[in-house]
């Protein structure tokens, strides 16, 4: 037996439809079904209406038509005597639309999965074919918002800076125990980091680079926490110290290994470049350094590019 489709079955639950206008798209005027609203300050229900405004929400398409729901949201007066909130707007509920969101929860769910599966630009292109109103920026913003879930009581964190879209620096905060990003701060100023740290007194260990900004902010906000250098800086320092020591002792190492000459053909490209740079530096130093033998008047040592040890052409002193 055929049954007609009622407009109320199209909109999310919790809304009552007042008017439907169909053109190139579908515009639905609706209002919340609940008679009362709960104050966000004291959780007391109130029925004293102060006013209303229209909140526009994008929804899933119907019959290849984009759908927009104009919801008449009411403002209520709080009836609590000791509540600081005097007037508040009713919330539509997490199943209908999140606070401050401009689309319904079910549309946001689809946008999130499209963004995860395809990425920003391909997902936006595919969404256009599905009549889903979402740009590539919306795709990425939705994925990021859902990826950064709030972490309660981080204890061990890492702080470092990041470069945003080639324009400015920001600060990234990671929970090192859960291996998750927990905050993206808009800049890398000491005051911004200090304010964020001061709001999290449960932190006990902070890993950061050896620059002064993050260390100072941590010392001012949380003077009792343990500050450590992050692993990347330690590995960089160890690597640089090892290369420096090897460079300075290369002659002794070759002598101990019994290799007096270096064959450039047996080196890799990068090693060969380093080797030619090393020879060039030696040549430059030799031109400016006289013979070590004070009795010898020679001011220039011969150029012997393939040997490690070099001697004076006049007195043969090494």
**Min dist. Cβ of residue 41 to Zn ion (A):** 4
- Stretch of 32-40, 90-98, 223-231, 266-274 contacting Zn ion, by CB under 5 A: 32-40
CA atoms within 13 A on the CB side of 289: 16
Nearer to Zn ion by C-beta: 78 or 222?
Answer: 78
Please choose, from the candidates 173, 276, 269, the residue with its C-alpha nearest in 3D space to the C-alpha of residue 218.
173
Q: Is there binding between residue 80 and Zn ion (CB under 5 A)?
A: yes
CA 63 to chain centre: 39
Site string for Zn ion, 271-300 (x = CB under 5 A): ------------------------------
**Min dist. Cβ of residue 72 to Zn ion (A):** 22
**Min dist. Cβ of residue 81 to Zn ion (A):** 9
Compute the distance between CA of residue 39 and CA of residue 18 in angstroms, rounded to an integer.
26
**Min dist. Cβ of residue 82 to Zn ion (A):** 9
CA geometry: angle 48, 52, 56, nearest 5 deg: 140
| Residues 172, 180 contacting (CB under 8 angstroms) | no
Nearer to Zn ion by C-beta: 81 or 268?
Answer: 81
Nearer to Zn ion by C-beta: 69 or 78?
Answer: 78
Q: Is there binding between residue 41 and Zn ion (CB under 5 A)?
A: yes
Sign of CA dihedral 37, 38, 41, 46: positive
Nearer to Zn ion by C-beta: 47 or 237?
Answer: 47
Task: At 220, list the tokens.
Answer: 């001012």
Nearer to Zn ion by C-beta: 46 or 58?
Answer: 46
Nearer to Zn ion by C-beta: 86 or 306?
Answer: 86
Q: Is there binding between residue 39 and Zn ion (CB under 5 A)?
A: yes
Q: CA torsion 305→308→314→318, rounded to 10°?
A: 170
Q: Which long-range contacts (CB under 8 A, 24 or more apart) does 124-127 make?
A: none
DSSP structure string for 153-199: S--EEEEEEEEETTTEEEEEEEETTTTEEEEEESS--HHHHHHHHHT
Q: Is there binding between residue 85 and Zn ion (CB under 5 A)?
A: yes
Nearer to Zn ion by C-beta: 78 or 262?
Answer: 78
Q: Which of 62, 83, 296, 313 binds Zn ion (CB under 5 A)?
A: 83
Nearer to Zn ion by C-beta: 13 or 48?
Answer: 48
CB atoms within 10 A of CB 57: 23
92 CB burial (10 A radius; 0-12, 13-18, 19+): buried
Compute the distance between CA of residue 37 and CA of residue 46 in angstroms, rounded to an integer.
6
Q: Is there binding between residue 78 and Zn ion (CB under 5 A)?
A: yes
- Stretch of 63-71, 84-92, 114-122, 191-199 contacting Zn ion, by CB under 5 A: 84-92
Strand partners, 205: 156, 226
**Min dist. Cβ of residue 240 to Zn ion (A):** 60
**Min dist. Cβ of residue 103 to Zn ion (A):** 28
Q: Is there binding between residue 14 and Zn ion (CB under 5 A)?
A: no
- Stretch of 42-50, 59-67, 115-123, 262-270 contacting Zn ion, by CB under 5 A: 42-50
Nearer to Zn ion by C-beta: 82 or 202?
Answer: 82
Task: At 314, list the tokens.
Answer: 């006049």
Q: Which of 17, 20, 42, 229 binds Zn ion (CB under 5 A)?
A: 42
Residues that bind Zn ion (CB under 5 A): 39, 41-42, 78, 80, 83, 85
């Amino acid at each position: 037996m055929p049954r007609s489709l009622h407009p109320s079955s199209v909109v999310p639950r919790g809304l009552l439809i007042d008017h439907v206008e169909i053109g190139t798209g579908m515009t639905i005027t609706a209002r919340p079904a609940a008679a009362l609203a709960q104050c966000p300050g004291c959780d007391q229900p109130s029925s004293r209406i102060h006013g209303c405004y229209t909140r526009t929400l994008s929804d899933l398409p119907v019959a290849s038509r984009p759908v927009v729901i104009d919801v008449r949201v009411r403002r209520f007066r709080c009836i609590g005597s000791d509540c600081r909130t005097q007037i508040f707007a009713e919330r539509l509920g997490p199943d209908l639309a999140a606070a401050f969101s401009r689309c319904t929860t079910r549309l946001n769910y689809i946008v999130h999965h499209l963004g995860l599966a395809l990425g920003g630009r391909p997902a936006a292109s595919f969404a256009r074919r599905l009549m889903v109103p979402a740009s590539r920026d919306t795709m990425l913003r939705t994925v990021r918002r859902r990826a950064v879930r709030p972490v309660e009581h981080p204890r061990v964190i890492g702080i470092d800076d990041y470069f945003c879209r080639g324009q400015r620096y920001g600060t990234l905060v990671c929970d090192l125990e859960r291996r998750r990003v927990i905050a993206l701060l808009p800049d890398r100023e000491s005051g911004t980091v200090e304010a964020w740290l001061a709001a999290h007194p449960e932190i006990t260990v902070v890993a950061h680079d050896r620059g002064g900004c993050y260390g100072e902010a941590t010392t001012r906000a949380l003077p009792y926490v343990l500050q450590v250098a992050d692993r990347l800086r330690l590995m960089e320092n160890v690597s640089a110290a090892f290369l420096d020591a090897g460079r300075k002792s290369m002659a002794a190492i070759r002598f101990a290994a019994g290799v007096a000459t270096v064959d450039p053909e047996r080196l890799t490209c990068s090693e060969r470049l380093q080797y030619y740079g090393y020879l060039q530096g030696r040549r430059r130093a030799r031109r400016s350094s006289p013979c070590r033998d004070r009795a010898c008047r020679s001011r220039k040592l011969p150029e012997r590019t393939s040997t490690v040890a070099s001697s004076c052409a006049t007195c043969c002193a090494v």
